[in-house]
Structure formats: C-alpha cells, structure tokens
Chains A and B, each alone.
Chain A
Amino acid sequence: MKVCVVALCISGALVAWSAVSGQDNRDASKRAKNSVYSEIENAPEKARAKRNPFEQNADAVSAGKILFEQHCAECHGETALGGKKAPSLRAVEVQGANPGAIFWILTNGVVRRGMPVWSKLPEPQRWQLVTYIKSLGIVPSETADSAPKKP
C-alpha cells in the first residue's frame, strides 16, 4: 500500500512538473518563434519536392478543416493564428513554404519542442491537412499575435 501511495505521489509530481514546465515552454515559445519556423527549413529537398495530391481540392479543404479541429486547433488555435503552445500557421514562413515541407513537419513532428509526430494519421489525411492549412492564407505575425481568439 505504501509503495502504491509513493508511486501515486511520484506520478502526480511528474504530471505537475510537466504541466508547469509546459507553461514555461509556452512563454519561451514566443521568444523562440523564429527558430520554431526554422524547422521548416530542415525539410530535405526530396520532401519539399513532393506534390500535394489534393491541391485545389475543395473536399480536401473541408476534410482538412475537420481534421485540424480534431488534432491541431488545441495548440495552434481554432483559426490557426497560434495558441499558447504553438505558433501561427498563417505566418509567411508557413504559408510560403512548399506543401511538401509542411507535410514533412506533420509527419516528423518537432518532438523536442513539443509538437508530436502525426504520422499516425494516414498519408492522405496529412495531405488534406496541408491543403486546409495552405487554404487559410497569410496573416502577418504581428497581427496574428494580437488577433483576438474566438471564444
């Protein structure tokens, strides 16, 4: 029983620590925003060159929107303008990137900076997400930072 209580306490402390340090990471994420976007630059040439099979596909935009709400909006915000945990996806750095580079980021995540790997979503769903993200258009970073979030 004692061991059980100790294990529970350790788990609780770890959860609290990760929650609190997550807050620090979020504060730091604003400062390091440019370096977050710089991960896109790390996409290999082969990945950048990939064509989006759903380009200009209206159904893919609708499907991508639903997927975005289910998997991405919590961190990137409902309008993709950025949230407490993750940067805006409407910044020039993302909207100007090759679809293949965004697909590569989705597939590999940015694990050390808190973005999980999304290769668990099948490839067509990741392309649908890319199609939706690219359909959103640019909102400059300064505007994105001050933009009011939807309730």
Chain B
Amino acid sequence: MFPGHSRLLLGLVFSLLALFVPTGARGQESAYFVTYDHYLEEPGNLEIEYFSTFGAQHGGNDFHAFWIELEYGATAWWTTEFYLDGQTTFNDSTLLTGFRWENRFRPLKREHFINPVIYVEYAKLNGADKIMKEVEGHDVASDFAEPNSLLRRETKHELEFKLLLSSTYKGWNFAENTLAAKNLSNQPWEFGYALGASRPLQLAASSKRCNLCLQNFVAGLEMYGGLGDRHSFGLRDTSQYLAPVAAWNLPSGWTLRVSPGFGLNDNSHGFLLRWGLSYEISGFGEMVGRLFGRAR
C-alpha cells in the first residue's frame, strides 16, 4: 500500500532482528556512563556508540544532548576514542558542539587489587556542549539556561587528564576516577570525580545461548560531580549527581545502557535521563590492514 513505508518497516524489523543474532567475538561492556573502569577495548576491535542525555532545565528549556563515539583497541594496553558531540535545546535549536579525542593507557602488565589507567583527552568544544560526559570545576545547571546563540560563542580548547582506578572483587567492579582539566584559553585547572560500583546480575554463564539470561545484565550506581578549581577547591558551588546504571550486553555484540540521574544539590539538574546503544566490530584492525595491502 505504501511501498516507502513498507521498506522502512522491513528495515526496522531487520535491524531489530540483527540485535539478537550472535556474531563474532564480543567484550563485556560496563554499565557506566561517566565513570571508567580499567578495562580497555580488545585489540583490533572497533566499538561504535551512540549516547544520549535528556536534561530537565530550571529557568530555561530542557535539552537533549548526544554524542557518537568511535572506540578502537589499538593494543591490549592502549585504547583510543573519537567523539562528536551535539545537542538540541527544546524551543531553541540543534547544533554540533565539538569533538573530543581520548586515549587510555594501562601502565601495568598484570591485574592488581587496584588497577590504574591513565586517561588523556583533547577537546575542542563550544559553550553549548551539554553532554555532561563528566562534570568538572564549577559546572552548574544554570550554565545551560542561556540560549544556544549565546552559548556557542564561547570556544573551549581543553586538555583533560584522569587517573582511573578500578578493582574487581567477587563479581563487583569498583571504580574511582579523578580528573583535572585545563581550558587552554588561560583558565584555571578544574577538578572533578566519578565513583561507580556495578555487578552482573548472575556470575556464572548459562549453558544455553540466550539473550535474556541474567548474566547479560549489569546493574550498578555511579556518583559524579565537580570539585572546584585551582583557586577554590572543594564542593562549594559545584553540581553533584547520583545515578543508577544498567546495561544489557547482547551476545550479538550490541549493548544497551540506561541511567536515570538525580541532582544532589541546588546547583545540579534535577533529573537527567541517559541512554546509549553500542555495537562492537571485531577484527576491524585486520580489515584496515587488508585495505593497506597486507596479506592475510
């Protein structure tokens, strides 16, 4: 009847089916949105991710911020990621807000009770960036109340360093991140933190192939916020959040994540709803290698 609509419907059905068809080698993704654990991408694998944050705004328009992330396991001790950020502010406009290039390095060869990872990021963003991938310095909810046309005038060239500490004990992951960020436009160092704890709902794997087995679900909690800047370190005039997190790792390589977040003080957004969808392509490095003419 409506050939265009039928094709669209067919496409949607096939896309949904693809979520449940097992393929290739897959990692086990964490449930966190802001916190990092110490696990890096498997070497040669590329993960394509889409994340979205809906935020309720006091004294302004609510927003929907989103980012696309390409995460590549360069080696077993180095993961590199590229992000493109954007946002829609309701009753205002939609715009791309910048990009980030992030690298994580694992300095130690073996697992320890606490495992460190060094994180280095360069970001070129404008003031309208609202993805809140981390909260730092004196970032507060009222920063987002201005219209996009004003916010986008501010440009940030930012270097960000994080120390990621993470432990795994009896199936639980505990992660503690501290961050120091420097806007290269002569701004003071800003600080922040993120803490997370998560656990799969079942530790042993089922002997049958299944999408809905409890072992495929991870649930947890994360807390994150700013810690002021070099001149005024501490919790004063910062925003703080607490957010339950959940992830569903499908054997087909897809991961769905969701996290409702709640502001813990008057400087925070009252409510944030985050969700994300990611897909891991194994052997991506080999495919690129073949493009460069290397024999199999």
Residues of A within 8 A of B (CB): 3-4, 7-8, 10-11, 14-16, 18-20, 22-23, 59-60, 62-64, 66-67, 69-75, 84-85, 107-117, 119-125, 128
Contact = CB atoms under 8 A, between A and B. Distances in A.
Closest 9 CB pairs of A and B: A74-B25, A62-B207, A124-B204, A19-B289, A122-B203, A19-B285, A18-B74, A19-B288, A63-B205
17 contacts: A7-B101, A15-B285, A19-B287, A22-B43, A60-B207, A63-B206, A69-B22, A71-B25, A85-B44, A110-B76, A111-B76, A111-B109, A114-B76, A117-B76, A120-B39, A122-B215, A128-B205
B99 interface: yes
A16 B288 contact: yes
B106 interface: yes
B294 A112 contact: no
Given A18-B285, A116-B40, A125-B205, A3 B296 contact: no
A64 B106 CA distance: 28
Given A19-B292, A108-B111, A112-B76, 17 more contacts: A7-B99, A8-B82, A11-B70, A11-B80, A18-B44, A19-B286, A20-B292, A22-B285, A62-B208, A66-B209, A70-B26, A71-B25, A109-B76, A109-B111, A111-B110, A122-B200, A122-B203
A74 B283 contact: yes
B75 interface: yes
Contact of B25 (A8, A66, A75): A75
A18 B171 contact: no
Contact of A117 (B39, B74, B171, B209): B39
